[in-house]
Amino acid sequence: MATCRFAFAVHVLTVLAQHKTRCSSSASLARTVNTNPVVIRRLLVDLQNAGLIRTLRGPQGGAVLAKRPEKISLRQVHSAVESPELFGRHPNPPSKECPVGQKIESVLGYVESRAARSLSRELQAISLADIVRRVQRT
Amino acid sequence: MATCRFAFAVHVLTVLAQHKTRCSSSASLARTVNTNPVVIRRLLVDLQNAGLIRTLRGPQGGAVLAKRPEKISLRQVHSAVESPELFGRHPNPPSKECPVGQKIESVLGYVESRAARSLSRELQAISLADIVRRVQRT
DNA sequence: TTGATTTGTAATAAATACAGTTACATATTA
DNA sequence: TAATATGTAACTGTATTTATTACAAATCAA
């Protein structure tokens, strides 16, 4: 995972959690994250599709949380904004002449699914409320 | 992690495990992985530094396992050839004016360390011997 | 209804990272 | 000494990603 979308998303959602029902515009979110508003808006689209936020257009528009922070897990956030792949696979198909080459891809699939499940479980155990608490008391 | 180095490493080590004490050249390994020998040699350097294989130069040279497949875990393989970072962080430092911006980076460090530990534990539970067994019987 | 504000999205630029490649020095064996 | 193999530097091509510009679509308030 070479992207910072998960980091951005956690940051943005933490701000929204503190603003409660008040809308935050992509411009103001971009300022705290230190990026471009369009980058934030693209993120908001994915978070909205995952049901974590709602957005409103027009004056006083912006984003608000769609659920209580206790009900949002980092697993949901991660799966909303990042690719599920944990590590890259063979870019060119391995040799079918070699017995290992023939079967390694499916075995790597097994490894990846175990790794993904484990990561998932861990992220599921961390809620946005936990993050807010840590940001406040750190 | 956008790289395929872990996939390549598992593939290569599986071949070495089957060849036991016979050396495999980077050229022959590159053929089964379907890549360039230099890519393999760069990988072998890292695997050697991690103590998982030994390499020999000259005729009949190449790579052999340095330990029994039961003693090599995918955690060792992963940490030998991939960056430990599980997800990207803020490319530009977040705003210090925003209370969330001030502290989000350290909180994300906590999240990442939990995620990394969880992934580590899962990969530690899979040995190269397990992979060889699955390749053979699949 | 108009003007201001904000999201949604397309198109593109710029930077970065990675696999792949060529070339060659170094080491080892027979 | 000739052949073979690793180790490594340098470079290329490509893909990915963040950032940016521009603008249409929606919303609200006066």
User: For B44-59, what is each residue's pLDDT tens digit?
Assistant: 999 999 999 999 999 9
How far, in Å, CA of B56 to CA of B48, rounded?
11
**The predicted structure's pLDDT at residue B1:** 59
**Any chain A CB within 8 A of the CB of B65?**
no
**Helix locations, B50-95, DSSP H:** 74-81
Closest CA to B112 of B133, B93, B90, B134: B90
Between CA A87 and C1' C3 the distance (Å) reads 51
Average pLDDT over residues B32-55: 98
State percent of chain A over pLDDT 90.
96
Read off the pLDDT of each residue in B82-91 and give the average, rounded to a whole number: 94
Q: Distance (Å, rounded) from C-alpha B15 to C-alpha B13?
A: 5
Distance (Å, whole) CA B1 – CA B76: 16
Question: Tokens 């999240």 belong to which residue?
Answer: B111
B7 near A93, Cβ under 8 Å?
no
Confidence of residue B112 (pLDDT cuts 50, 70, 90): very high
Q: What is the pLDDT of residue A125?
A: 98
pLDDT of residue A71: 98
- Residue B45: both structure tokens together: 């350097």
Q: Which nucleotide is nearest to B45 (CA to C1')?
A: D7
Chain B interface includes A93 (CB < 8 A):
yes
In CATH, what number does A5-137 get? 1.10.10.10
CB contact under 8 A, A115 and B119: yes
Domain ranges of chain A: 5-137
Strand B53-56 to A62-65 pairing: unpaired
- Name the nucleotide with the smallest C1'–CA separation from B30: C20
Work out if B14's Cβ lies within 7 angstroms of strand D.
no
Q: Rounded to an integer, what distance in angstroms lies between the CA atom of residue B41 and that of residue B3?
A: 16
pLDDT (tens digit per residue) in A80-91: 999 999 999 999
pLDDT exceeds 70 at position A1: no
Confirm if B4 and A88 have CB atoms less than 8 A apart. yes
Question: Which residues is A61 bridged to in the sheet?
Answer: none
- Measured CA to C1', the nucleotide nearest B56 is D6
Contact status, residue A77 vs residue A66, Cβ threshold 8 Å: no
Which residue is closest to D29 in terms of CA–C1' distance? A59
Instruction: Give the per-residue pLDDT at B138.
Output: 77
> CB of residue B63 closer than 7 A to nucleic acid strand D?
yes
Confidence of residue B35 (pLDDT cuts 50, 70, 90): very high
Question: Could you say which residues from 104 to 133 on chain B have a Cβ atom under 8 Å away from some Cβ of chain A?
Answer: 104, 106-108, 110-111, 114-115, 117-119, 121-123, 126, 131
Quick one: pLDDT at residue A2?
78
**Bases of chain D with protein Cβ within 7 A:** 3-10, 16-22, 25-29
Q: Are B3 and B28 in contact, with CB atoms under 8 Å apart?
A: no
Say yes or no: B27 contacts chain A, CB-CB below 8 A. Answer: no
